[in-house]
Amino acid sequence: MPLSAVRYDRQDFPMGKDAYRKYISEALDVMGVDDPKARARWTTGLMTAAARESSFNPLAVNTYDINATRLSGSGPDGFPAGSSRGGVQTIPETFASFHQPGTSTNIYEPVANICASMNYVMSRYGVDPSGSNLSKVAQFNPNSAGGGY
């Protein structure tokens, strides 16, 4: 979808571990992941990423990393234009490029944010749709120190 179609609506989305388990389950449904083992792998990885990236906060915004400082100006939500946003911290360009059709165009909406992140790691890192090799992305691997993705 075009970058101009990304919305920045900071709605009152439920936050926390339980909310993220629900969002992840919904995202896996949207993405057609129905094998229980695949769902377990994705859930573990996405819960790890959401904990590290936002402490399970769908309204989290990173205003200090390289993404936040690489573009001038602010986005419609008042934060630096390039800032990563949402529970698994997608930047607007990534959210737009990897947006899952049928999900919200709001970067903060948790299911849409998660689906875009899944599409991104599958494309960028060659993660299998089954999540069988998701652990190679450090930020999604609970047994690694993590890092940007």
Instruction: Report the distance separating Cα 142 and Cα 100, nearest Å.
Output: 25
Q: Is the pTM of this model over 0.85?
A: yes
Range of the domain at 64: 15-138
Domain membership of residue 10 (yes or no) is no
The per-residue pLDDT for 117 is 99
Domain membership of residue 88 (yes or no) is yes
pLDDT for residue 49 is more than 90: yes
Confidence of residue 23 (pLDDT cuts 50, 70, 90): very high
CA 129 to each of CA 32, 115, 123, 137: distance values in angstroms, whole numbers, following the listed order:
9, 12, 10, 14
**Overall number of domains in the chain:** 1
Task: Let me know: does 125 contact 98? Beta carbons within 8 Å.
Answer: no
The per-residue pLDDT for 21 is 99
The per-residue pLDDT for 63 is 92
Domain membership of residue 120 (yes or no) is yes
Residue range 56-63: average pLDDT? 97
Domain membership of residue 149 (yes or no) is no
The two tokens of residue 90 are 């997608």
Domain membership of residue 1 (yes or no) is no
